[in-house]
Every structure is written in structure tokens, then in C-alpha cells.
Amino acid sequence: MATATIIDGKQFAARLRAGIAEQVARLKADHGLTPGLTVVLVGEDPASQIYVRNKERQAREAGMNSFEQRLPATVTQAELLARIARLNQDPAVHGILVQLPLPEQIDPEAVIQAIAVSKDVDGFHPVNAGLLAVGGNAMVPCTPLGCLILLKDRLGDLTGQRAVVLGRSNIVGKPMAALLLREHCTVTVAHSRTRDLADECRRADILVAAVGRPEMIQGDWIKPGATVIDVGINRLPTADGKGRLVGDVAFAAAVEVAGAITPVPGGVGPMTIACLLLNTLTATCRQHGLPAPEVRPTAA
Ligand code: GUN
């Protein structure tokens, strides 16, 4: 049986970061501007510490300034909001990311809404979500943006494609659907209350899975030749205690049916940070009235 092309997100993200680094160097040479990204981490969650360190390292490797802000898990909401207000005013800071989840005494919505719309490189602020919905100049959430870039690289023009997005979160599902609609796809958003989920999936030329349930999407839910983007990162227990990462799609079965598929790990994950850097570059240009450069991944 035919097997799917495996979409190498890790390699693509590395090429995209190299393309971003070229534009960062140009911005410095032509305008004396260095994009600055501040990542705020509250508390000591081990997984968040790893994510944040990766974001900061990759920002520096792209030639950006990375400003690190660490706050104790006991910080009050007022203290965090005051910190964000200072970052909003700081001209060296073009992008602000507050790592989620936050401790329970802090309302994440209040924090997201405190970030200046123009510095919201996560694209989580309701104004950016609204701009994306109405087709404006939004900061687009990093994970769906990474998925879209992979899809366009693989398929070119997406006009008329039937796309099914599994999951309706504010971070992935909803912005993914808005992006695909902007690309003239026919979009269905399916979720935990959807009737006949497998049937909905079988109609998809493009299937984006973002449900957070290990290997839920079975091989026979996939239309032969479809492009499958697996956003899930789920850790299954193993005998050695280290765990095994799997996506939302049953990969071994899906790879026999799909036309192309992203693996987990090494698919969508690396694209998320590359798109954070892309958003930081875009935010820097917009804040200085410059057109956002067209970033191309460097040659393979
Ligand atoms: N925690 C897990 N993923 C993300 C993300 O994309 N942005 C933020 N701010 N926190 C996260």
C-alpha cells in the first residue's frame, strides 16, 4: 500500500529560522533595529521551564534580544499586571509572551488582555482574535500559523479544499479554522460533541487534529491521500518511566492512508517556536511603521 510523505517540521522550522535570522540581520543593518522578545515565566513548572528556555535560546540564535523575566509562583495578579504594563512601555521589547498555564490565583484572561495588542506575539489578545476573524492585520497564534505554513508548502493554493479542524480551543482550533477560511477552504470545526466524528474526518482533504487525546484519530477516519496535520503532543507511560510522545492521530495506521502527515515529535512542535520568532519580527516592523519582510525558509 502507498505510504504517506512524512512532513519534516523539524527541518522546515530550522530553514524558516534561518530565513528569519537573515531578515533580522537586514533590519539591524538597514534600520539599526534589533527585535526584542520577553518571555515571562511564573513559577517552576518543569515542562514550562523547558519550553521557555527553548524559546529564549532560539530567539538569541536568530539574532534577537531575549529578555527573561522569572516570577515566583506566589506572585499576585496585580504584580504581574504591573510588570506587563512596564514591558508594554519598553521600546526595546517588541514581543511579550506570558507562558501558560499560570498559578490559580491569576486570571489568564486578565493577563492576556493586559498585553499591548501590537506586542502580543502569541496572538491570544481578543483584539487579535477579532482581527483574524474579520480579516485584519492580526498577530496570528503561533501553532496554527505553523500548521498553515506547512500546509501551503505542501499543497500550494488551498482554495476549495475541504478542511476539518478537530478541536475548538482559542489557541489552536478556532484560529486554525479562521486561517483556513482566509485561504478559501471549506472549513468544518469538529469537537467532543460532534456527531459521527469519523464521518466528518473522512470528508477532509486537510485534517488538522488538535484534541489532546492520544492516537484518537484512526486510520480508517482518514480520506485516502489527505494531508494530516497532528498538533497533539501526548505522553504515554512506558515501563522505563520516561514516557513516549504520541500525537492525536494513530500514526502507524494513518501513514498507510494519508497523502502526507506530520509526525509527533518533529512535526508541528518545532514550527510553533519558529512562528513565535516570525511574529516577533513582524511586531517589530509594524511598531516602527515598516512593512513586515517576506520571510522565506532557506534552501533545503
Ligand atoms: N503554553 C503552552 N503553549 C503555549 C503557547 O503557545 N503560548 C503560551 N503563552 N503559553 C503556552
Answer whether 271 contacts ligand 1 (Cβ < 6 A). Answer: no
Three-class SS state of 271: helix
Give dist(CA 234, CA 193) in Å, integer. Answer: 21
Answer whether 97 contacts ligand 1 (Cβ < 6 A). Answer: yes
Answer whether 246 contacts ligand 1 (Cβ < 6 A). Answer: no
In contact, 201 and 167? CB cutoff 8 Å: no
Phi-psi bin for 70: left (phi > 0), alpha (psi -120 to 50), beta? beta
Q: Does residue 2 carry a pLDDT above 80?
A: no
Three-class SS state of 236: strand
pLDDT for 170-210, tens place per residue?
999 999 999 999 999 999 999 999 999 999 999 999 999 99
Answer whether 98 contacts ligand 1 (Cβ < 6 A). Answer: yes
What residue spans in the chain does CATH classification 3.40.50.10860 cover? Answer: 32-116
The residue whose CA is least distant from atom 9 of ligand 1 is 99
What residue spans in the chain does CATH classification 3.40.50.720 cover? Answer: 142-268
The residue whose CA is least distant from atom 8 of ligand 1 is 99
Query: Domain 32-116 class?
Result: alpha beta
pLDDT for 46-102, tens place per residue?
999 999 999 999 999 999 999 999 999 999 999 999 999 999 999 999 999 999 999
**Paired residues of 38 in beta bridges:** 67, 96
Give dist(CA 271, CA 282) in Å, integer. Answer: 16
In contact, 209 and 190? CB cutoff 8 Å: no
Q: Known catalytic residue: 55?
A: yes
Instruction: Give the residue ranges of DSSP H helices in 165-295.
Output: 173-182, 197-202, 251-254, 268-287
Ligand 1 pocket mutation pick from 48, 122, 271 by most atoms within 8 angstroms of CB: 122
- Residue 300's pLDDT is 84
Strand ranges for the chain from DSSP E? 5-6, 36-42, 65-71, 95-98, 162-166, 186-190, 206-209, 227-230, 234-236, 244-246, 260-261
Q: How confident is the model at residue 1 (pLDDT cuts 50, 70, 90)?
A: low
Q: How much of the chain exceeds pLDDT 70, in percent?
A: 100
Query: Domain 142-268 class?
Result: alpha beta
Of 23, 119, 120, 122, which one is the catalytic site residue?
A: 122
Q: Among candidates 145, 176, 173, which has minimal Cα distance to 280?
A: 145
Ligand 1 pocket mutation pick from 96, 97, 176 by most atoms within 8 angstroms of CB: 97
Instruction: Give the residue ranges of DSSP H helices in 90-156.
Output: 108-114, 126-134, 142-155
pLDDT for 122-178, tens place per residue?
999 999 999 999 998 999 999 999 999 999 999 999 999 999 999 999 999 999 999
Q: Kindly report the pTM of this predicted structure.
A: 0.97
Atom of ligand 1 nearest to the CA of 143: 6
Q: Cβ–Cβ contacts within 10 Å for residue 118, how many?
A: 18
The residue whose CA is least distant from atom 11 of ligand 1 is 100
CA–centroid distance, 217 to ligand 1, in Å, is: 24
Q: Among candidates 51, 98, 102, 97, which has minimal Cα distance to 269?
A: 51
In whole numbers, what is the pLDDT of the chain averaged over residues?
A: 97
